Chain A
Amino acid sequence: MYSEKVMDHFQNPRNVGEIIGADGIGEVGNAKCGDIMKMYLKIENDVIEDVKFKTFGCGSAIASSSMATELIKGKTIKEAMELTNKAVAEALDGLPPVKMHCSVLAEQAIKSALLDYSKRHNVHIEGLEDVNFDDDHHDHDLEQL
């Protein structure tokens, strides 16, 4: 069902935990749907110096969080903003179609943490105004087909 990479990131997730005194914290998803991702960012000079996550969810949700943190660690805010859910899924050698929403959640978690950073530090981040966090990451009716 899952690629070896997904299983590796599920079994040995990178960057699990919290950052005390994080510069930005984002939480997306909801328990009712069975997945919540919380992302912590440490940012210095527009660079993501450190990132940690905590996730309640299935194997692919944990693997997507882990991979997403790897992909943005050491990158600039601008680069992190460019990370798409597809890039996360591709880096994991693909996700089953019904699990693609996990990668969407990972992308949103990063953007949510960046939004928190921009508010707390009163900085403008290009592209954040277009992100709709209320946009449900999956459609129950559609995916049941």
Chain B
Amino acid sequence: MGKYIYMDNAATTQMKKQVIDEMMPYFSEKYGNPSSVYSLGSQSKRAIEEARQKVANTINADKREIFFTGGGSEADNWAIKGIAYGNISKGNHIITTKIEHHAILHTCQYLEKKGFEVTYLDVDQYGLIDLEQLKNAITDKTILISVMFANNEIGTIQPIKEIGEIAKERNIYFHTDAVQAMGNIRIDVKELNIDLLSLSAHKFYGPKGIGTLYVRQGVKIDPLISGGGQERNRRAGTENVPAIVGLGKAIELAYENLEEHNNRLTSLRDSLIEKIRANIPYVRLNGHPTLRLPGNVNFCFQFIEGESLLLSLDMEGIAGSSGSACTSGSLDPSHVLLAIGLPHEVAHGSLRLSLGDFNTEEELDYVVEKLVKIVDRLRSMSPLYEKIKEGK
């Protein structure tokens, strides 16, 4: 393959070499089951506990509050279902937002079928929730507030501290899906009053299929997966030792260099936004101008459709993603873009380019150069653009 530019770091990231190196022995010579009593087993056990300590240190938690899961979606499912079923005697009402990841939304929809009530908060044009609407949505049956830390599509960062305060005041559990935020934002669960937090290693240069649910001590939560006594009886199943080791290394690396990572990505991000705006007419930046993830760029290109944009970019060796219906397998465009008030036809033409540590300034120029040509070509074929040009 020739030149390949990967700008889909919100989908997944390339693992860092140090992470792979750290994991490798646990695939081969250090293969023991952590639950076994002999030394080969306890060696694996120690590796897991070291990783657990690294996660705990990163988010200012106790290591007994860190539970490894099979990824972000499992952590989200566990948080929502576990709190719902574990606190059913207190109430059956959950508050979340319209722009959550499907791991939250579909779990909430499932619970609605089981008799729970769910309020889906609106967001404004930038994707921010309204704290007053949140306060007003709380009832004496509310057991959980779940608001994502930062949005995966448009990158908008929510007022997590304020939400945490509201939840604490009303004695309601607060969960945040921090899958996109982790590795990009410094998170202190105590300062932010977070009771439950989901994260996923492959979003910060770690392996896929491994995540964490942070559960504050004293939170009443049912297990999602029953079986052996792993993870202090909270999450059964033999631990994915190499992946856990990889998660630990990845989170350590991410937070060692967080400021450098953020400064670099924010500058690349703003540069890309500027270049697109300067070179292509009829575009709209989705998400908040400043309260956004350092690597997130999301634009709508009017009069063209997102999938044809992605296919064209792919032919030029550029990987991005779209909230277009045609890329999702369903026929409706992204629920996030609709929630920020975009009309269907505009939402169909979205493109997300998410930057990561391996992207460079030179790549931005190449991408913009190609993007200008692609957008121009697709617009020249579009009957919608024709109407605009004719002033209809």
Q: Which residues of A contact B315 (CB under 8 A)?
A: 11
- Contact at B311–A59, with CB atoms within 8 Å? yes
B329 within 8 A of A: yes
Stretch of B62-70, B256-264, B377-385 on the interface side? B377-385
- Contact at A54–B382, with CB atoms within 8 Å? yes
Which of B307, B315, B324, B380 has its CB near the most chain A CB atoms (within 10 A)? B307
Question: In the complex, which of the residues A36, A37, A57 contacts B308, with contact meaning CB atoms closer than 8 Å?
Answer: A57
B331 within 8 A of A: yes
- Knowing A11-B315, A143-B331, A144-B330, the reply to whether A58 touches B383 (Cβ < 8 A) is no
Residues 125-145 of chain A: 1 if any B CB is under 8 Å from the residue's CB, otherwise 0? 000000000000010100110
Question: In the complex, which of the residues B306, B311, B324, B383 contacts A36, with contact meaning CB atoms closer than 8 Å?
Answer: B383
B332 within 8 A of A: yes
- Knowing A34-B345, A55-B383, A59-B308, the reply to whether A98 touches B324 (Cβ < 8 A) is no
* CB-based nearest B residue for A139: B331
Residues 47-59 of chain A: 1 if any B CB is under 8 Å from the residue's CB, otherwise 0? 0000000111111
* CB-based nearest A residue for B344: A32
A35 within 8 A of B: yes
User: Majority SS of interface residues in chain A?
Assistant: mixed
Q: How far, in whole Å, are A36 and B303 apart by their CA atoms in the complex?
A: 10
- Knowing A11-B315, A140-B331, the reply to whether A31 touches B307 (Cβ < 8 A) is no
B304 within 8 A of A: yes
- Contact at A54–B345, with CB atoms within 8 Å? no
- What is the minimal beta-carbon distance from B303 to any residue of chain A, in angstroms? 7
Q: Which residues of B contact A43 (CB under 8 A)?
A: none
Q: Which residues of B contact A38 (CB under 8 A)?
A: 383, 386
Q: How far, in whole Å, are A59 and B331 apart by their CA atoms in the complex?
A: 14
Q: How far, in whole Å, are A66 and B384 apart by their CA atoms in the complex?
A: 18
Q: How far, in whole Å, are A36 and B381 apart by their CA atoms in the complex?
A: 11
Q: Which residues of B contact A2 (CB under 8 A)?
A: 311
Q: How far, in whole Å, are A58 and B307 apart by their CA atoms in the complex?
A: 5
- Contact at B348–A31, with CB atoms within 8 Å? yes
Q: Which residues of A contact B344 (CB under 8 A)?
A: 31-34
* CB-based nearest B residue for A66: B381
Q: Which residues of B contact A37 (CB under 8 A)?
A: 383
Q: Which residues of A contact B325 (CB under 8 A)?
A: 33-34
Q: Which residues of B contact A16 (CB under 8 A)?
A: 380-381
B183 within 8 A of A: no
* CB-based nearest B residue for A55: B381
- What is the minimal beta-carbon distance from B6 to any residue of chain A, in angstroms? 19
A115 within 8 A of B: no
Measured as residues with beta carbon below 8 angstroms from the partner, the interface class of chain A is 20 to 34
B333 within 8 A of A: yes
- What is the minimal beta-carbon distance from B249 to any residue of chain A, in angstroms? 35
- Contact at B305–A57, with CB atoms within 8 Å? yes
- What is the minimal beta-carbon distance from B383 to any residue of chain A, in angstroms? 4
Residues 309-330 of chain B: 1 if any A CB is under 8 Å from the residue's CB, otherwise 0? 0010001000000001110011
Q: Which residues of A contact B385 (CB under 8 A)?
A: 56
- Knowing A16-B381, A54-B381, A56-B382, the reply to whether A143 touches B330 (Cβ < 8 A) is yes
- Contact at B324–A34, with CB atoms within 8 Å? yes
Q: Which residues of B contact A61 (CB under 8 A)?
A: 305, 308
* CB-based nearest A residue for B331: A140
* CB-based nearest B residue for A38: B383
Q: How far, in whole Å, are A142 and B333 apart by their CA atoms in the complex?
A: 16
- Contact at B384–A36, with CB atoms within 8 Å? yes
- What is the minimal beta-carbon distance from A136 to any residue of chain B, in angstroms? 11
- What is the minimal beta-carbon distance from B111 to any residue of chain A, in angstroms? 20
Q: How far, in whole Å, are A10 and B344 apart by their CA atoms in the complex?
A: 23
- Contact at A58–B331, with CB atoms within 8 Å? no
A13 within 8 A of B: yes
- What is the minimal beta-carbon distance from B30 to any residue of chain A, in angstroms? 40
Q: Which residues of A contact B329 (CB under 8 A)?
A: 98
- Knowing A138-B331, A140-B331, A143-B330, the reply to whether A34 touches B305 (Cβ < 8 A) is yes
Q: Which residues of B contact A55 (CB under 8 A)?
A: 381-383
- Contact at A56–B330, with CB atoms within 8 Å? no
A107 within 8 A of B: no
- Knowing A31-B345, A36-B383, the reply to whether A56 touches B305 (Cβ < 8 A) is yes
A-B residue pairs in contact (CB < 8 Å), sample of 12 = A16-B380, A31-B344, A31-B345, A34-B305, A34-B345, A56-B304, A56-B384, A57-B326, A58-B307, A140-B331, A143-B330, A144-B330
The 7 closest A-B pairs by CB, nearest first: A31-B345, A58-B326, A58-B307, A34-B348, A38-B383, A32-B344, A54-B383
- Please report A residues at the B interface, Cβ cutoff 8 Å: 2, 7, 10-11, 13, 16, 18, 27, 31-38, 54-59, 61-62, 98-99, 138, 140, 143-144
Additional A-B contact list (18), CB under 8 Å, known A13-B381, A31-B345:
A7-B311, A10-B308, A10-B311, A16-B381, A27-B383, A34-B326, A34-B333, A36-B383, A37-B383, A55-B382, A56-B304, A56-B381, A56-B383, A58-B305, A58-B307, A59-B308, A61-B305, A144-B330
